[in-house]
Chain A
Amino acid sequence: MRTPFLALIKWVFLLALVTLSSAILTKISGVWWVAYPCAFFAGMLFRISWLGILSVGLLSGALLWLLPSMLWVQSNGLGFFIALDQSMGLPGHGFGFLFGTALLGGLMHTFGLVTGQSLLRLIKPKSLKKSYGIPDYRA
């Protein structure tokens, strides 16, 4: 049942799972890299397209890592980040640091998911017959 709807469900589920599990475990443990194993195991749950993995990883990572900054900007404006960019010599006029944060968070989640997905595809290859009607002689 390869429908766009199912793909969307899987995508939303994975996004919620990775984001929430990472946020909860990060909050509980206080360890910044705990999101990587979260993403890794989430990536092993089911097959999803590489594009789906990439978008979930970047989005959830950026969301999670940017959350404190976004809450701050909402209450206090962008001034602090403009000053921070100036002080660190970053381009972006307030968005340099935020972009760096989003990128690193996104990459960490993406690499976790991609590695997990690769392991899934290694240990549980997709049936060729199911996919293409070709007998799977490996079985």
Chain B
Amino acid sequence: MRLFRFIFWLLVSVLFFFVLVGKVGPYQKLYLWFNPISGLSPQEKLPDWQAPPNQMAGLKSSVDVYIDSAWVPVIYAENDWDAYFMQGYLSAKWRIFQMDFITRFAAGRLSEIIGPKAVDLDRKQRFLGLSYAAEIALNAFEQDSLSKLAMDAYTAGVNTWLSQVADKDLPLECKLLQYKPAPWSNFKSALLLKYMADLLTGSVHDIQVQNTLSDFGPEFVGQWFPDYNPNPNASIDPQKIGPTSIPDSLKAKDPFSSYLNKITNFEDPVDGLGSNNWVLDGSRTATGKPLLANDPHLPLSLPSIWMEMHLVVQGRPVYGVTLPGAPGIIIGMNDAVAWGVTNGTVDVKDYLAVMLTSQHPKLWFSGDVKLTDRFGRDSTIAKNSYFSGQGWESLSYRKETIDIKGAPSKSFLIPYTKFGPLLRETVKNQHGENLRLTFQWTGFEPSNELRSFLLLNKATNVEECLMALSTFKCPPQNFVFADTAGEIALWQKGLFPSRKYDVGKWVGDARNPDHLWQGFLPDSISPCIKNPERGFLFSANQHPTPSPYPYAYTGFFELWRNQRILSRLENAKQWNFQDMQALQMDSYSEEAATLLPLMLEKLPKQNTPMYDSLLQWDYVYRAPSQAATFFHQWLYEFEQRLWHPLNPELHEIPERWVLPYILKDNEGKYKPWMPKDSGSVSQWLLEAFRFCQDSLAQEAWQTFKATKIQHLARLEGFSVKAIASSGHHTAPNAMTPTHGPSWRMVVSLKPPVNARVSLPGGISGNPASEAYYQGIEDWSHGIYKMVIPGKIPEHPKFHWKCAPLSLP
């Protein structure tokens, strides 16, 4: 009996350890989460603020790091290598999970840490070709000594931290997923930049417009999707650029020849991306020197997409935000210049339908054959070829292997055309031919965006800033610059495809040479302006140029924010920080101011409190406003009825600048162009109003909008929900439920350069740290902090000194 009892408890103990180290249902290795040494529970002394070793291999000279009172690191180094090394080290210390997770996402390698659940997402990412793009970019980066030094130093810094970190000090997310981040590499830095390029340019509307074309015809698309809205408030005067007539050579012969049957399997483009930047010269500021503002509207996440960083190399400072994983500062200022960016939103990614030999009805053979194509050209066709504008060409293949945690790896080949990856879905055209989709993207062209940022970090005047952009290609960005000498400039810089008119708005036909890119536009004609007479420059994702512009471009351009900013800047006199900040926080909507009076005019008078509220509303999306919520919903519901049977999930809905024309149309001028015959604008307005009145809760705008800053890996507990904030995507304060001003910056170029900045989220990615949620409250209320580049913090929280490793 006693022996049995002992054996029984021994077996129970063994079983218990199996439970702790093995797999129980969906959970495995429970000891990694719960054990008191390296589990999920935070230790009293957070690793975030543990000093780096006094000596580190990899440093060339001594480096001083201060953590200032706002938890921002200030790195004082004697050379570039050490500055970027320490930047990499500290980025890893605070953000290694973010760096690792985003680059895994970009490369389609999440399955390695998440398991089979992520395989579909990984496969989709592999077909985007970001690793392919990063390989091309890395080649260009490494040919440039400046970029190579920065990347090598940064990578060395990250890997030094990885080699030092104990398992107990790994980020919470790594412990939850039970993995240790892989070593960093220059390739991952390149991949990160390509991820951002894809985020800012990859979400195009070609397929939705294609579906609209298929279902409603070319006349409908021609009417409602013209190249320009009539009031673009372009950031550039076209006279500065060149001829204003459209050359015949740029007119496509048959822009619609390829249109395909409806494509249903595609991802909705991401909306909410945008930004504001503007710069006033000394004639409009109180100091007589330029003021520059920038607020990029990006997904709001915790930790923030940005990381605040302050580098001082040999006495020259640079301050601003960077992407964890990239050396240098992306948006910011130094002691002589400041710069800001907004997304160009020019379409630089075009879908093309290609025909493969394997899918050609007459080409089921297994060898080469000569064939005359529909354009009368003789071609020798190899197996696994596709037809491009120049004839039949062979596919190349890239082997992809997805390693899956807890499951066997999966390997597959992705065919590449000369344009880009060949997508899996087969689509039919109107002749019943099976076609496959591919896409061309300027992100696949060799470029060196990193060099541009590194040069901007060191620029001493606006001219050097402009020169720094020579290698910047993708994503196209509107850069604004100002310097302490008083000069200002704006350049929409990027690599722009040269297209025929009307090409690029929908899916093109790779067989038609007119549908292919004709090359790229030279930099000399890209929109650039310096020291304008009106004393300010701005961009808010609107058209960079007014119509007519002699070079065809397409994109998804902002309509309302830019009007508000323009009207405020035109009246700017003696502006100071407060005026600039007030404009960044301005929640006045030009959309509401334009559309609401017209909508109310067409609506029969209603005896409801909400109708009266709308009459009195000042078009400002304030946090407590119920009228704002009602208008937002009413407009949406009206649009649904107006454009029915267009389906927003399949079709492109015409942009809202067309609404004033429709609302003012009392003669039925637009009736033939509406997608349905019955009904009237007044009727749809009334229906929508009653629906909103009867069916929807009358909520405050902040409650309805419910801006949320979501944890990077979607861990609900570490997200911040329902932030009480004003703003709307049509107002300068472009706050949406998921996107918003991810960094607010106002810089005075009166020496010494100083700035007011605000960032939603602190330096640390550790949810247990006080520097994780830091800044969100101030940011939501428009409270900024003051920064002075190069100034040693007076009351640093920490001061760390690191020296090179001295050999015994």
Report which A residues bind B (CB closer than 8 A).
26, 30-33, 36, 64-69, 71-72, 75-76, 80, 82-88, 97, 100-101, 104-105, 107-108, 111-112, 114-115, 118-119, 121-122, 125
Do the beta carbons of B716 and A86 come within 8 Å of each other? yes
List the A side residues contacting B44 at CB < 8 Å: 68, 71-72, 75
List the B side residues contacting A72 at CB < 8 Å: 41-44, 768
* Stretch in contact with the other chain, from B10-18, B113-121, B256-264, B452-460: B10-18
Do the beta carbons of B36 and A26 come within 8 Å of each other? yes
Do the beta carbons of A121 and B2 come within 8 Å of each other? yes
The residue from A32, A83, A114 contacting B9, defined by CB atoms under 8 A apart? A114
Do the beta carbons of A36 and B36 come within 8 Å of each other? no
How far apart are B604's CB and chain A's nearest CB, in angstroms?
48
Do the beta carbons of B13 and A36 come within 8 Å of each other? yes
**Given A72-B41, A115-B10, A67–B36 Cβ distance below 8 Å?**
yes
Do the beta carbons of B34 and A104 come within 8 Å of each other? yes
How far apart are A105's CB and chain B's nearest CB, in angstroms?
7
User: Can you list 28 A-B pairs, Cβ within 8 angstroms, ordered by A?
Assistant: A30-B37, A32-B31, A32-B36, A32-B38, A33-B17, A65-B34, A68-B36, A68-B41, A68-B42, A68-B43, A69-B36, A80-B42, A83-B718, A83-B767, A84-B717, A85-B717, A86-B716, A86-B717, A88-B176, A97-B41, A100-B30, A104-B31, A107-B16, A108-B20, A112-B13, A115-B12, A118-B2, A118-B6
Report which B residues bind A (CB closer than 8 A).
2-3, 5-6, 8-10, 12-13, 16-17, 20, 30-31, 33-44, 176, 711, 715-718, 767-768
Q: Give 14 A-B pairs besides A32-B37, A68-B36 with Cβ atoms closer than 8 angstroms.
A: A32-B39, A72-B42, A72-B768, A80-B42, A83-B718, A86-B715, A86-B716, A97-B34, A97-B40, A104-B30, A118-B2, A118-B6, A118-B9, A125-B2
Closest B residue to A83 by beta carbon equals B717
Do the beta carbons of B34 and A101 come within 8 Å of each other? yes
How far apart are B307's CB and chain A's nearest CB, in angstroms?
22
Do the beta carbons of A101 and B37 come within 8 Å of each other? no
**How far is it, in angstroms, between the C-alpha of A86 and the C-alpha of B42 when the chains are bound?**
16
The residue from A86, A101, A112, A125 contacting B36, defined by CB atoms under 8 A apart? A101
**How far is it, in angstroms, between the C-alpha of A87 and the C-alpha of B16 when the chains are bound?**
25
The residue from B16, B711, B768 contacting A111, defined by CB atoms under 8 A apart? B16
Closest A residue to B26 by beta carbon equals A89
B5, B17, B30, B43, most chain A CB atoms within 10 A: B5
Do the beta carbons of A65 and B42 come within 8 Å of each other? no
The residue from A66, A87, A122 contacting B3, defined by CB atoms under 8 A apart? A122
Do the beta carbons of B6 and A122 come within 8 Å of each other? yes
Closest B residue to A114 by beta carbon equals B9
List the A side residues contacting B31 at CB < 8 Å: 32-33, 104
**How far is it, in angstroms, between the C-alpha of A83 and the C-alpha of B716 when the chains are bound?**
7
List the B side residues contacting A111 at CB < 8 Å: 9, 12-13, 16
List the B side residues contacting A33 at CB < 8 Å: 17, 31
**Given A83-B767, A125-B2, A105–B36 Cβ distance below 8 Å?**
yes
List the A side residues contacting B35 at CB < 8 Å: 32, 65
**How far is it, in angstroms, between the C-alpha of A83 and the C-alpha of B39 when the chains are bound?**
16
List the A side residues contacting B33 at CB < 8 Å: 100
**How far is it, in angstroms, between the C-alpha of A100 and the C-alpha of B34 when the chains are bound?**
7
How far apart are A115's CB and chain B's nearest CB, in angstroms?
4
**Given A32-B35, A69-B41, A87–B716 Cβ distance below 8 Å?**
yes
List the A side residues contacting B6 at CB < 8 Å: 115, 118-119, 121-122
Do the beta carbons of A104 and B20 come within 8 Å of each other? yes
How far apart are A36's CB and chain B's nearest CB, in angstroms?
7
**Given A80-B768, A82-B717, A104-B30, A118–B43 Cβ distance below 8 Å?**
no
**How far is it, in angstroms, between the C-alpha of A136 and the C-alpha of B788 when the chains are bound?**
89
**How far is it, in angstroms, between the C-alpha of A65 and the C-alpha of B31 when the chains are bound?**
11
Shortest 3 CB-CB contacts between residues of A and residues of B: A86-B717, A83-B717, A32-B35
Closest A residue to B42 by beta carbon equals A72
**How far is it, in angstroms, between the C-alpha of A35 and the C-alpha of B630 when the chains are bound?**
62
A36, A82, A111, most chain B CB atoms within 10 A: A111
Closest A residue to B16 by beta carbon equals A111
How far apart are B723's CB and chain A's nearest CB, in angstroms?
16
Closest A residue to B5 by beta carbon equals A118
How far apart are B627's CB and chain A's nearest CB, in angstroms?
34
**How far is it, in angstroms, between the C-alpha of A82 and the C-alpha of B716 when the chains are bound?**
11
List the B side residues contacting A100 at CB < 8 Å: 30, 33-34
**How far is it, in angstroms, between the C-alpha of A108 and the C-alpha of B40 when the chains are bound?**
18
**How far is it, in angstroms, between the C-alpha of A32 and the C-alpha of B2 when the chains are bound?**
30
List the B side residues contacting A36 at CB < 8 Å: 13, 17
**How far is it, in angstroms, between the C-alpha of A72 and the C-alpha of B39 when the chains are bound?**
13
List the B side residues contacting A107 at CB < 8 Å: 16
How far apart are A3's CB and chain B's nearest CB, in angstroms?
26
List the B side residues contacting A125 at CB < 8 Å: 2
List the B side residues contacting A85 at CB < 8 Å: 717
Closest B residue to A43 by beta carbon equals B9
List the A side residues contacting B40 at CB < 8 Å: 84, 97
List the A side residues contacting B715 at CB < 8 Å: 83, 86-87
List the B side residues contacting A119 at CB < 8 Å: 6
**How far is it, in angstroms, between the C-alpha of A86 and the C-alpha of B176 when the chains are bound?**
13
List the B side residues contacting A87 at CB < 8 Å: 176, 711, 715-718
How far apart are A88's CB and chain B's nearest CB, in angstroms?
7
**How far is it, in angstroms, between the C-alpha of A111 and the C-alpha of B37 when the chains are bound?**
20
Closest A residue to B38 by beta carbon equals A32
How far apart are A67's CB and chain B's nearest CB, in angstroms?
6
How far apart are A104's CB and chain B's nearest CB, in angstroms?
5
List the B side residues contacting A86 at CB < 8 Å: 715-717
**How far is it, in angstroms, between the C-alpha of A125 and the C-alpha of B1 when the chains are bound?**
11
How far apart are B120's CB and chain A's nearest CB, in angstroms?
22
List the B side residues contacting A26 at CB < 8 Å: 36-37
**How far is it, in angstroms, between the C-alpha of A100 and the C-alpha of B40 when the chains are bound?**
12
**How far is it, in angstroms, between the C-alpha of A107 and the C-alpha of B12 when the chains are bound?**
10
Closest B residue to A74 by beta carbon equals B44
**How far is it, in angstroms, between the C-alpha of A103 and the C-alpha of B9 when the chains are bound?**
18
How far apart are B777's CB and chain A's nearest CB, in angstroms?
15
Closest A residue to B768 by beta carbon equals A80
**How far is it, in angstroms, between the C-alpha of A23 and the C-alpha of B703 when the chains are bound?**
49
